[in-house]
Amino acid sequence: MRSKTRIIIVQLLVGSIFVVLVYKLIPSSRCSEEMDPIEESYRSYEEPADFECFDNKIGSRDGFPIVPNIVHFIRWNQQFSFLDAICVLAAYRNQRPERLIIHTDLDSFDGKYWEMIRNEPGIEDVLEVKHLAVPTEIFDQELNSAWKYWHGGDIARIQVLMKYGGIFLDNDSFLVKSLDEYRKFELTLGWQPGLYLANQAVLAHKNARFLEKWLNSYRHRYYAWGWYYNTGERPTTDILEKEPHLIHRVDKFFCEYTGMMEFLYLENHSNWSEHYVIHLLSRHTEELVKNLSATATYPVVFDEYNIAKYNATIRQIVNSVYNTGHT
Ligand SMILES: *[C@@H]1O[C@H](CO)[C@@H](O)[C@H](O)[C@H]1NC(C)=O
Ligand SMILES: *[C@@H]1O[C@H](CO)[C@@H](O)[C@H](O)[C@H]1NC(C)=O
Ligand SMILES: *[C@@H]1O[C@H](CO)[C@@H](O)[C@H](O)[C@H]1NC(C)=O
Ligand SMILES: *[C@@H]1O[C@H](CO)[C@@H](O)[C@H](O)[C@H]1NC(C)=O
Ligand SMILES: *[C@@H]1O[C@H](CO)[C@@H](O)[C@H](O)[C@H]1NC(C)=O
């Protein structure tokens, strides 16, 4: 009797181990098949339709680019400032995109900084201005009208990437060098240890899983007075911390980090060129606690003349795409 019970218990154990093994093997065998290397459909950037088994540490097979070489900027209700134009020139020269799309609610751009962009040799072949209305709601929740340009921009960048795929850059994101090596991943963004994701520079295939999850995380949960809640905090804690494999994560060379304001505006460093993208944060120079010199003061709205007085990293950065006559 006793030994029979023991046998039954052993059989049950062996049986359940078998069931667990089979259960574990089925999904992984589905993922072990390599993704279809249909190069032609990759080239149209319509594929992959499904990233379920995609490895964002390795990227596409043979490093084939799956993210289209399209740079997107979004501008609401604003003409170009000097540094904004510098950022467009940097994206053009350093990335050499096939399309450079500026999405805006304005009918057209004008002014000398728009001319500065248009005078760039070759840019006319890739530059497009597309009308995009500022979002006013998300999943039937009205956006905070006081922050509509910012919350609207946060949402619109996800939607633009879901429509086209490509490389989204914030107004004041300076692209230092080509991001081509990241075009083999489903989605790439900056996310520093212990912080929330950064949305100033995002590369994505339009079918990237995280884009849809990111947008859907606003459903029933839009928090009008959370500056970075919906676009940064919640998707980090609710999605990425649980499923980090959804993205290719890069550290500080994609986003700003502590001390960046001083690095750019008060100090003079050459290692800015190690970054891929630098968020210039140029609308925040009032936060600086000292001036560079008696004539190079803060806050400042930079232009092509006063930049010459600022013997700091920002001048080297600007100089790399625009000759200020001073190094
Ligand atoms: C882009 O920059 C302008 C200021 O130059 C700002 O008013 C606007 O809100 C920014 N747009 C987005 C989407 O962040
Ligand atoms: C510029 O800054 C460097 C140090 O960052 C300093 O050595 C140099 O004297 C400064 N030049 C001018 C013209 O202020
Ligand atoms: C700032 O630093 C760069 C790189 O080290 C150097 O080439 C340049 O001369 C410096 N600028 C000044 C004015 O000293
Ligand atoms: C650049 O150099 C400065 C000074 O050496 C250093 O403090 C900083 O961490 C460096 N930044 C990067 C991104 O390497
Ligand atoms: C920097 O210079 C400006 C203009 O002279 C002045 O208003 C401001 O108080 C100065 N800032 C600091 C921190 O000294």
Q: Does residue 125 sit in the same domain as residue 272? A: no
Q: Does residue 91 sit in the same domain as residue 129? A: yes
Q: Whose CA is nearest to atom 7 of ligand 4?
A: 263
Q: Whose CA is nearest to atom 3 of ligand 4?
A: 269
The partner residues of 167 in beta bridges, in order of sequence, read 71, 203
Q: pLDDT truncated to tens, each residue of the chain (327 aa)?
A: 466 767 666 676 666 666 555 555 554 446 655 555 555 556 778 888 899 999 999 999 888 999 999 999 999 999 999 999 999 999 999 999 999 999 999 999 999 999 999 999 999 999 999 999 999 999 999 999 999 999 999 999 999 999 999 999 999 999 999 999 999 999 999 999 999 999 999 999 999 999 999 999 999 999 999 999 999 999 999 999 999 999 999 987 987 778 999 999 999 999 999 999 999 999 999 999 999 999 999 999 999 999 999 999 999 999 999 987 665
Domain limits for position 72: 61-251
Helices and strands: H and E segment counts in the chain: 9, 11
Asked if residue 45 belongs to a domain, the reply is no
Q: Does residue 296 sit in the same domain as residue 177? A: no
Q: Whose CA is nearest to atom 12 of ligand 2?
A: 311
Q: Is 113 exposed, middle or buried (0-12, 13-18, 19+ CB in 10 A)?
A: buried
CA of 271, closest atom in ligand 4? 1
Q: Does residue 173 sit in the same domain as residue 74? A: yes
Cα(289) to ligand 4 centroid in Å equals: 20
Query: Tokens 């540490």 correspond to what residue?
Result: 57
Cα(72) to ligand 1 centroid in Å equals: 13
pLDDT at position 258 is 83
CA of 293, closest atom in ligand 2? 14
Find the farthest-apart pair of alpha carbons in the chain and give their distance in angstroms, rounded.
97
Asked if residue 165 belongs to a domain, the reply is yes
Cβ neighbours of residue 94 closer than 8 Å, sequence gap 6 or more? 175, 176, 177, 178
Total number of domains in the chain: 2
Asked if residue 309 belongs to a domain, the reply is yes
Q: Does residue 77 sit in the same domain as residue 140? A: yes
Q: Does residue 238 sit in the same domain as residue 276? A: no
Burial 218-235 (b: 16+ CB within 10 A, else e): beeebeeebebbbbbbbb
Q: Does residue 196 sit in the same domain as residue 111? A: yes
Q: Whose CA is nearest to atom 10 of ligand 4?
A: 271
Q: Does residue 132 sit in the same domain as residue 268? A: no
Residue 98 near residue 126, CB atoms below 8 Å: yes
Is the peptide bond preceding residue 65 cis, with omega within 30 degrees of 0? no
**Whether the CB of 271 sits within 6 Å of ligand 4:** yes
Q: Does residue 184 sit in the same domain as residue 306? A: no
Q: Does residue 194 sit in the same domain as residue 101? A: yes
**Whether the CB of 308 sits within 6 Å of ligand 2:** no
Point out the domain boundary residue: 251, 275, 305. 251
For ligand 1, pick from 149, 172, 199, 231 the residue to mutate: most ligand atoms within 8 Å of CB. 149
pLDDT at position 35 is 55
Asked if residue 1 belongs to a domain, the reply is no
Asked if residue 230 belongs to a domain, the reply is yes
312-316 LR contacts (CB < 8 Å, sep 24+)? 312/264, 312/265, 312/266, 312/267, 312/268, 313/263, 313/264, 313/265, 313/267, 313/268, 313/269, 313/272, 314/264, 314/265, 314/280, 316/268, 316/270, 316/272
Q: Does residue 107 sit in the same domain as residue 167? A: yes
pLDDT at position 241 is 97
Q: Does residue 306 sit in the same domain as residue 214? A: no
How many CB atoms are located within 10 Å of the residue 200 CB? 21
